[in-house]
Structure 1
Amino acid sequence: MKGTPAKRSSLFLLELIIAILFFSLTSAVCVQIFVRAHLISRQTQELITALEKVSGFSEVFLAGDSFSALLPEDASVSENADGSAEYLVFYDKNWQLCSSSDATYEIQIRIDPQGALLHGTFTARSASDADDASVIYSRETDYCPEPAQ
């Protein structure tokens, strides 16, 4: 008779250990899912913001206004003898304009003359990486300036 309570308590302890193990594994899987969802959400927000910024610059380019006059003060400008120009606009981690030393993101704008057309390439990328792997969003467009009369 004295052996029965020990068997019951060891069986209960075994069931308890199995239940704790099951819930531990389930919670670990759930945490991984939430972390992955957070990363995807952050990447999506980064893509949306980059798309908005690049689209804004490309619309200014297509409007035909003086492009360099509308750029922020901190923008890096380099114009070449062949008529091409490259602009760099820097943003911090919250996509606010900043200097190049504080930049997390950058938008590179290249404008190349191609005959009567101007070809614009607008690229948003992470500022810490210079390779193409860090490109968040890129857009190319052409603009035909009206001939002078």
Structure 2
Amino acid sequence: MRRVRHSKSGLFLIELMICILFFSCTAGICIRFFAKSHELSQKARNLYQAQQEASSMAEILEGDINSLYHRYVYYDKDWKQCEKKDMAYWLEVSETDVKKKEAEPKTGHNSDSKKTDLKKIKIAVYSGKKVKKAQKDEIYHLNLSIYVPKDNTKHAASTQKEGMK
């Protein structure tokens, strides 16, 4: 009688294929982690840059509020100022609530107090091309309240930072 010997190489090949499948699945998961971490670091970089640009614009407006007339600043993908056609990000300055007057003091003896106008300004940074208002992809916005005396000689400013949307 003859014995039939089975080759052990078949079992070895199946074991090798299972190992290759396991390592390829593990590699796929690792690649997803690296891609997600890259995306998160890019979002963090954009948020940081948007905060810096909005704060810079707020400082400019606090120094000279008369320069506010619905202003736009355009940035390329590396956050350098550029023309509108090359933009990847853009900053918009808009006045949200015009001239809210403070109440006058009820006592008549303080006649030298001045009325002030409150200008509320929104500085927002968006990504992508300029589109309709409902479709804007806002990265960051900063609400700025500036008190401007009637004689326009001096003003005081206060800012409220709002987080990322």
Q: Same fold (TM over 0.5)?
A: yes
**1:58 Cα shift?**
1.2
1:127/1:15 CA distance change after superposition, 3 Å = closer
8 Å Cα contact 1:123-1:137 kept in structure 2: yes
* Structure 1 residue 14 displacement after superposition: 1.1
In the other structure, the counterpart of 2:80 is: 96
Task: Report if the CA contact (8 A) 1:58-1:120 is conserved.
Answer: no
* Structure 1 outlier segments of 4+, above 6 Å: none
Letter matched to residue 126 of structure 1? S
2:119 counterpart of 1:135 = no
Could you say if the C-alpha distance between residues 39 and 145 of structure 1 is closer, same or farther in structure 2, counting changes exceeding 3 Å? same
Q: Secondary structure at the match of 1:3?
A: coil
Which runs of no fewer than 5 residues in structure 2 stay unpaired? 101-116, 154-165
Worse overlay, 85-94 or 110-119: 110-119
Secondary structure class of the residue paired with 1:98: coil
Q: CA RMSD in A?
A: 2.0
Instruction: Report the TM-score when normalising by structure 1.
Output: 0.78
Deviation at residue 127 of structure 1 after TM alignment: 3.8
CA distance in 2, matches of 1:58, 1:2: 87
Q: How many residues align?
A: 131
Alpha-carbon distance in structure 1 between the residues aligned to 2:66 and 2:21: 63
Measure the CA separation in 2 of the matches of 1:67 and 1:107.
18
* Range that drifts further, 115-124 or 138-147: 138-147
Pairwise CA distance, 1:119: 1.1
Report which of the two has the higher share of helix.
1
% identical equivalent positions: 28
Corresponding residue of 2:48: 48
Q: What aligned pairs does 1:7-86 form with structure 2 within 5 A after superposition?
A: 8-62=8-62, 64-65=63-64, 68=67, 85-86=69-70
| Most deviating of 130-139 and 40-49 | 130-139
Q: What SS does structure 1 have at the residue aligned with 2:64?
A: coil
TM-score, normalising length from structure 2?
A: 0.71
Q: Please, which runs of 5 or more residues in structure 1 have no aligned partner?
A: 69-83
Separation in 2, partners of 1:101, 1:9: 64
| Structure 1 position 37, deviation (Å) | 0.7
Judged with a 3 Å threshold, the aligned counterparts in structure 2 of structure 1 residues 127 and 35 are, in CA distance, closer, same or farther, namely closer
Give 1:59 shift. Answer: 2.2
Question: C-alpha displacement at 1:133, in angstroms?
Answer: 4.4
Question: Is the 8 Å Cα contact of residues 60 and 67 (structure 1) preserved in structure 2?
Answer: no
Task: Give me the whole-angstrom Cα distance separating, in 2, the residues matched to 1:26 and 1:100.
Answer: 44
